[in-house]
Amino acid sequence: MAMPSETEIARRYAQVRKAMAEASLSAVVVCGSEYTGFEGAVRYMCGFRILHRYAYAVLLESGEPCAVFPSEARYVGAHSEAWVKEKVFADHPGSWIRDYLLANGVKRVGVYGLNYIMPVRDWIALADSEIEVVDFDDQFDLARSVKSSEELVEVKDAISINEAGFWAVHEAYQPGKLSQADLLARAEAEFLRLGTGRQTMNMLLWGHHGAAEPEFRIPEHSHPVVDDDLLLFSLEIAGPGGYWSESARPMCRGRLTSDTQLLLEAYAEYFEAAEKSMKLGMTAHDVHRAVSKPFLERGFKLGHVTGHSIGTTMIEHPRIGEGVEVELAEGMVISMHPHAITADGKACMYMQDTWLVTADQGQRLSTIPPGIFDGSEERPVQKGIQ
């Protein structure tokens, strides 16, 4: 496993400490768990890859962070991968962290993962002390939202792996022969071969007669796909460097419904709107409004979140959505995936791409062309990130 450079590690700590100072904090506790997509903040801070259970990185105003693990997980995961010197195995991690913070004079601590990740027993240990505990989720995410050139290399690698999975499905797609699960297995084999390990979260939107239903599902083994099944594999993976990438394209060899055709028409306009709006100075709200317009004008509604920042954690702040007034900055990496649903709630369209925010436009990093696939298309030559 490649470790970030000393310069990159120092940059990360400096950015987090800047956010700490702005929030009047003297420490930050960063949580991670094996819940898919929620392990990456700990890896970002100390290099440890969570295999099972959970872990913490604790950063004070100066010095290296320490990594804290539950003692029952001493032999679960390669703890030597963590680049920090101090590694602690505690019977009760929350109590150990509380005592460590108190010993270092901490009065106010921010917690990343307070809403979704930190186990209740550890939160209780902190909350019952005289230390003020504050939610630090958004601030931490914004501190790491602009990716360095070193990080973008890892982003590019993840996108390449993701695309290899898509094209493996595309190559195997022959209606009447393989099931949904058989097709996804081709992608999963590529992902594992290329270094994702356990960091995949792949699912499917599908339906018969040229339209996909709006609920995400686990692929089925029961029968082969047929010509008019509309398949939307949502491929979400992290590469060996821990950075996540998301992609999705529809596949169908049969006749599409008029609603599906209208959804595809709106999606064509979405791609143009995303490229124009995802630039320096626009807010997440502005982008959401711009890319939603083609769908709303045609009477569709939006389901799943329009988009979000993405990095070593699958879903990071800012979310691309209504009322999110965070300004985009050059170097942010955003996963975009409007989930457009017909007014009657029976059909949908969903495409995913990983984008880079630049000074004057959004750069779609994927080389997979927009649109629907029937299995006859040729794989394009992959381009690098500029």
We find that the CATH architecture of domain 149-364 is: Alpha-Beta Complex (3.90)
Question: What is the rounded distance in angstroms from the CA atom of residue 254 to the CA atom of residue 153?
Answer: 39
User: Percent of the chain having pLDDT more than 70?
Assistant: 98
User: What are the start-end ranges of the H helices in the chain?
Assistant: 6-22, 40-46, 93-103, 120-127, 137-143, 149-172, 180-193, 258-277, 284-297
Alpha-carbon gap, residue 339 to 350, rounded angstroms: 5
Neighbour-count burial of 357, counting CB atoms closer than 10 A to its CB (0-12 exposed, 13-18 middle, 19+ buried): buried
Q: Is 274 helix (H, G, I), strand (E, B) or coil?
A: helix
CB 41 within 8 A of CB 32: yes
- Asked, colleague to colleague, whether 6-143 and 149-364 share their fold, the answer is no
How big is the CA angle at 276 (ends 271 and 279), to the nearest 5 degrees? Answer: 120
- Within 10 angstroms of residue 35's Cβ, the number of other Cβ atoms is 13
Question: pTM value?
Answer: 0.94
User: Could you read off the pLDDT of 17-28 as tens digits, one per residue?
Assistant: 999 999 999 999
The predicted-structure confidence for 231-241, as pLDDT tens digits, reads as follows 999 999 999 99
Task: Parse the chain into domains and list their residue ranges.
Answer: 6-143, 149-364
Sequential DSSP letters for 54-118: EEEEEEESSS--EEEEEGGGTTSS-GGG---S-EEEESSHHHHHHHHHHHTT--EEEEETTTTTS
Task: Share the mean pLDDT of the chain.
Answer: 96
The confidence score (pLDDT) of residue 1 equals 66
Tell me: cis bond preceding 318? Omega within 30 of 0 counts. yes
pLDDT of residue 383: 54
Provide the 10 A C-beta neighbour count for residue 275.
15
Q: How confident is the model at residue 304 (pLDDT cuts 50, 70, 90)?
A: confident
pLDDT tens figures, 182-216: 999 999 999 999 999 999 999 999 999 999 999 99
6-143 folds as Creatine Amidinohydrolase; Chain A, domain 1 (3.40.350)
pLDDT band at 385 (very low <50, low <70, confident <90, very high): very low
pLDDT tens for 341-366 read 999 999 999 999 999 999 999 999 99
